[in-house]
Chain A
């Protein structure tokens, strides 16, 4: 299982870019933290999700 934004997902073995696309994320609008380190966008293509990975996907929202 891969923990993505706090939820366990059956995503092990898949490329991060494929997961993002299928889940409906716009990769231009997000930043990804992969196992506590920021993942450069260029690495979305080469990163293969593994069991136990922790992924945070964030974006900007309205705020003060």
Chain B
């Protein structure tokens, strides 16, 4: 039997990698190595006012064939997110957009209500919309209804490297939502990425975990392996956990005593 390919499909586009790489907080010179060692096919970007002193174009550092996923960071409401998404599309990145709407700069938590509004408007404009959200099943259902192509729940506050703080709620989304659930924000270690993949997450998005690592490309490779391992484990189906007691792995007959 031919082995079926295991693809991540977002808005009709198929990807082999399940690692979405952020490009913030590290040098442009490291991006290419990070993308290669991560095996990433999707890289996130931010849109900001252009500074004429900054002559380097980040797009020159991203390998060809990588899908660009601009975010709407800096948006405080749906109107601002729509505006940033349109500008990103004008910058020539394609139709993907990660909606990120925050009202406070202390905790950087996503505004779920505004995110639903922005998702609906951008999906109607033909964008492949990937909303970053606080994991809430009702909101996730509204995002599906609004036309999202994936749902991106946070694991922990952005940039915190605190891991799967919202694990139980992400599991509910994985179990109930018929779209790729991509765990975004807060994942600090490859083991946490692996755990989320074992739970059935479709992909992992990471930035700070790499940007703050001692060796960025090596950490990118570690995440790649962990994500692949977690995916295989999910597809294999994890073994059961006993509620109590033990179960021998060895034969219970033929002992060397009477």
B205 touches A38 (CB 8 A): no
Which one of B45, B55, B68, B93 lies within 8 Å of A61 (CB-CB)?
B45
User: In whole angstroms, how far apart are the Cα atoms of A31 and B83 in the complex?
Assistant: 12
Jot down 26 A-B pairs with beta carbons below 8 A, ordered by A: A5-B50, A6-B49, A25-B50, A25-B52, A28-B57, A30-B50, A31-B88, A56-B49, A57-B49, A58-B48, A58-B91, A59-B50, A59-B57, A59-B58, A59-B91, A60-B68, A61-B48, A62-B23, A62-B28, A63-B22, A63-B24, A63-B44, A63-B207, A64-B24, A64-B158, A64-B159
CB distance from B122 to the nearest CB of A (A): 14
Which residues from chain A contact B54 at a C-beta distance below 8 Å? 59
CB distance from A6 to the nearest CB of B (A): 7
CB distance from B131 to the nearest CB of A (A): 14
B119 at the interface (CB under 8 A from A): no
A30 touches B91 (CB 8 A): yes
B57 touches A29 (CB 8 A): yes
B47 at the interface (CB under 8 A from A): yes
Contact pattern, B 27-63, Cβ under 8 Å of A = 1, otherwise 0: 0100100000000000011111110111101110000
Which one of A6, A30, A56, A63 lies within 8 Å of B73 (CB-CB)?
A63
User: In whole angstroms, how far apart are the Cα atoms of A56 and B24 in the complex?
Assistant: 22
Which residues from chain A contact B28 at a C-beta distance below 8 Å? 62
When C-beta atoms are compared, the residue in chain B nearest to A56 turns out to be B49
Interface residues of B (CB under 8 A from A): 22-26, 28, 31, 44-50, 52-55, 57-59, 68, 70-71, 73, 83, 86-88, 90-91, 93, 158-159, 185, 205, 207-208
A38 touches B55 (CB 8 A): no
A33 touches B57 (CB 8 A): no
CB distance from A20 to the nearest CB of B (A): 9
B87 touches A58 (CB 8 A): yes
Contact pattern, A 20-50, Cβ under 8 Å of B = 1, otherwise 0: 0001111011110100001010000000000
User: In whole angstroms, how far apart are the Cα atoms of A39 and B46 in the complex?
Assistant: 20
Which residues from chain B contact A40 at a C-beta distance below 8 Å? 90
User: In whole angstroms, how far apart are the Cα atoms of A33 and B70 in the complex?
Assistant: 17
A26 touches B55 (CB 8 A): yes
A61 touches B91 (CB 8 A): no
User: In whole angstroms, how far apart are the Cα atoms of A3 and B197 in the complex?
Assistant: 48
Which residues from chain A contact B90 at a C-beta distance below 8 Å? 31, 38, 40
B52 touches A60 (CB 8 A): no
Nearest first, the 8 closest Cβ-Cβ pairs linking A and B are A63-B46, A64-B22, A64-B207, A31-B90, A24-B52, A59-B50, A62-B23, A29-B57
A5 touches B49 (CB 8 A): yes
User: In whole angstroms, how far apart are the Cα atoms of A29 and B58 in the complex?
Assistant: 9
Which residues from chain B contact A31 at a C-beta distance below 8 Å? 87-88, 90-91
When C-beta atoms are compared, the residue in chain A nearest to B93 turns out to be A60
A62 touches B52 (CB 8 A): no
Which residues from chain B contact A38 at a C-beta distance below 8 Å? 86-87, 90
Which one of B91, B205, B207 lies within 8 Å of A60 (CB-CB)?
B91
